[in-house]
Structure 1
Amino acid sequence: MTAVASLHPRDVLLGAQAGAVALPVCDHYSGVEARMRKSLALQAEMAEEFGACVFDVTLDCEDGAPVGGEAEHAALVCELARAALPGMRVGVRVHPVDHPAFDGDMATIAGQVASRLSHLMVPKVESTADVERAVAALDAAGAGELPLHVLIESPRAVRHAFDIAAHPRVQSLSFGLMDFVSAHASAIPADGMGATGQFTHPLVVRAKLEIASAAHAYGKVPSHCVVTEFSDAHAMGMAARRAAREFGYLRMWSIHPSQIRPILLAFSPDEEQIHIATKIMDAAAAADWAPLSFDGTLHDRASYRHFWQILERAHATGRRLPEEARRWFVPVTH
């Protein structure tokens, strides 16, 4: 194998257009102590099953903390983050930047357990001014390296989605469906919050597409909103598939353990995609990443990048890879 062919696909293909950073496709939210503990236990169990941490657990202060008990809840979140097993991904959603508890959340959580967290989620971000407020709080807490995720929940925020996505400290944009619908003074009917209606109402569809486009424009991860009908497995699977295949989302929120596996399934490549991607990547490496014809179709580094990202997604969702592809995911040792 030549020196070029021996290079890792990330080194060869992602320099010119890196695309979004790879994150687990499922972001699971819980805010009540018992559920947070169960979520962390389930995360560890499924990591052992799949051989990788296949979903994030985001501990929720905004909806989880009782009124007047925000400081105690922040302390609990720190305790849970410290107790998470090595290799697990744990994030925290703090209160919005204009909430009285925001500064306390940031000082306690970012100040004490930033090194144990995968990300920090800031809800109800309206503009880059809110992002800067969060960034300043992170820096003041000594957590300047902690990835920042933001939640877009209003028409005004959607208007500023591209500016927000462009901020260098933002890693991911999520769509807050429920608040977005309620921000329209009942102009969007209630079924616009449902598993089906959220994919058909024009204003909701427009917001989803705008957020996904903004995220992709700046190499950030677009994260799809919740499905509240958590007992309806069919509706959950349908919504996850549409989010992944039609709306360009790379990640999706879960609010119940039963939603995690449908999200993993919907966002993971199928066997045929994995097979084709493996064959093309293997041929590309053998050709020193030069253009080639595969089954009568021309491929070059642009299409190689696409097929490499399929393999990365397969690995991140715990799919079994062919031997030819597994060589690229062997942990690096020093």
Structure 2
Amino acid sequence: MQHPRDVLLGAQATAGMLPVCDHYSGVEARMRKSLQLQAELTQEFGTCVFDVTLDCEDGAPVGGEAEHAALVTELALAASPQARIGVRVHPVDHPAFAADIAQIAGKAGARLSHIMIPKVESVNDVVLAEKALLAAYPAGLPLQVLIESPAAVHRAFDIAAHPRVQSLSFGLMDFVSAHAGAIPADGMGIEGQFTHPLVLRAKLEIASAAHAYGKVPSHCVVTEFNDVQAMRTAARRAAREFGYTRMWSIHPSQIRAILEAFAPDEGQIETAAAILLAAQRADWAPISFQGALHDRASYRHFWHVLERAHSTGRTLPAEVMAWF
């Protein structure tokens, strides 16, 4: 019997989806703790529920970029084979970019899940990054990109269309700063980032560009990491109102809040399972379920619900567990 993923997604089917949380750390002690926490939560949930992205751009001290890249390489090579580890390198126009890629991808490429390229302004930056990546590690890796300026937002659809790009992230703080004071400082805060029109427009453009090309839109940071309830609210809005399917964490206390906000609830999981099981029994022809018509368009939606539930460690009905 055909797998629902193959029936519903066809050539667009993938081996899975990205974890909904991408946790950033750049200081050695925090990078080590992040990898340890990832292993602990993987054991708790039965699947890897967040990525760890080791940060060279903000983590490396000025003048110590080479040493930091060597440390990141060491951590990636020493991690569990089951770990999901990404690396944020320096921007393509930074003097340390080429050395970052040569060192980290060249020596630890097989242990990485992705490379994050910050301050991408156009698809040309992606082309440059891909060229450097393939020179260092011919097998290649997915590239995730940070959109951090008004001009980059304008070009988001072209950037998302590049086949090497896996995910688009919104760089809130640089985006606000790029407006030379036209957006007030509270546009970077928990309230302002969800109310200022220019910030909202950028978020929606990036999410739309990502979805247009089957890429993952990743929501920006919440800097108020001590306010867990505010974090939950922000993550819920990112997922339910803005179409984001992934979000950055910059503090361990934010990880569970993101998982909770992006995971389907029990009722959604039960409904999705019931509809897809009925569809499978009907050989994926249209069905009536609780008085409503469903066909492959809605089946695809409910399949994504189950994929998201599985990726966030939620319990699935026994009848659909065989699909995972």
Shared fold, TM over 0.5: yes
Which residue among 304, 313, 321 is the counterpart of 1:318?
A: 313
**CA displacement, residues 158-200 of structure 1 (integer Å, 9 cap, x when unaligned):** 0100000000110000000000000000100111101111011
Structure 1 position 128, deviation (Å): 0.7
Root-mean-square deviation (CA, aligned residues, Å) is 1.2
State whether residues 149 and 171 of structure 1, in contact with CA within 8 Å, keep that contact through their aligned partners in structure 2.
Answer: yes
- 1:259 maps to 254
- 1:308 maps to 303
In 1, distance between residues paired with 2:241 and 2:274?
26
Query: Once superposed, which parts of structure 1, at least 4 consecutive aligned residues long, lie more than 6 Å away?
Result: none
Which residue among 211, 231, 238 is the counterpart of 1:216?
A: 211
**CA displacement, residues 216-252 of structure 1 (integer Å, 9 cap, x when unaligned):** 0000000000000000011100100000000000100
Matches within 5 A, 1:181-330: 181-329=176-324
Structure 1 position 132, deviation (Å): 0.6
What one-letter code is carried by the residue in structure 1 that aligns with 2:292?
T
1:217–1:19 distance in 2 versus 1, CA, 3 Å: farther
**What TM-score results when the alignment is normalised by the length of structure 1?**
0.95
In 2, distance between residues paired with 1:59 and 1:142?
18
State whether residues 55 and 89 of structure 2, in contact with CA within 8 Å, keep that contact through their aligned partners in structure 1.
Answer: yes
What one-letter code is carried by the residue in structure 2 that aligns with 1:177?
L
- 2:47 maps to 52
In 2, distance between residues paired with 1:20 and 1:225?
25
Structure 1 position 142, deviation (Å): 2.2
**CA displacement, residues 66-97 of structure 1 (integer Å, 9 cap, x when unaligned):** 00100000000001001111211000000000
In 1, distance between residues paired with 2:15 and 2:48?
18
Are 1:102 and 2:97 an aligned pair? yes
Are 1:147 and 2:142 an aligned pair? yes
In 1, distance between residues paired with 2:16 and 2:97?
27
1:296–1:16 distance in 2 versus 1, CA, 3 Å: farther
Paired-residue identity, %: 77
Greater shift after overlay, 218-227 or 79-88? Answer: 79-88
Structure 1 position 25, deviation (Å): 0.1
Unmatched segments (≥5 aa) in structure 1:
1-5, 330-334
1:224–1:183 distance in 2 versus 1, CA, 3 Å: same
In 2, distance between residues paired with 1:85 and 1:293?
46
In 2, distance between residues paired with 1:85 and 1:21?
20
In 1, distance between residues paired with 2:191 and 2:18?
26
- 1:32 maps to 27
Structure 1 position 140, deviation (Å): 0.8
State whether residues 8 and 296 of structure 2, in contact with CA within 8 Å, keep that contact through their aligned partners in structure 1.
Answer: yes
Unmatched segments (≥5 aa) in structure 2:
none
Greater shift after overlay, 54-63 or 77-86? Answer: 77-86
In 2, distance between residues paired with 1:157 and 1:116?
30
**What TM-score results when the alignment is normalised by the length of structure 2?**
0.98
- 1:3 maps to none
What one-letter code is carried by the residue in structure 1 that aligns with 2:82?
G
1:143–1:229 distance in 2 versus 1, CA, 3 Å: farther
What one-letter code is carried by the residue in structure 1 that aligns with 2:63?
G
Which residue among 106, 114, 138 is the counterpart of 1:111?
A: 106
Structure 1 position 145, deviation (Å): 2.3
State whether residues 6 and 13 of structure 2, in contact with CA within 8 Å, keep that contact through their aligned partners in structure 1.
Answer: no
State whether residues 20 and 220 of structure 1, in contact with CA within 8 Å, keep that contact through their aligned partners in structure 2.
Answer: no
1:21–1:210 distance in 2 versus 1, CA, 3 Å: farther
In 1, distance between residues paired with 2:201 and 2:193?
10
Structure 1 position 144, deviation (Å): 4.2
- 2:81 maps to 86
In 2, distance between residues paired with 1:173 and 1:20?
19
Aligned residue for 2:10, secondary structure, equals coil
In 2, distance between residues paired with 1:283 and 1:148?
38
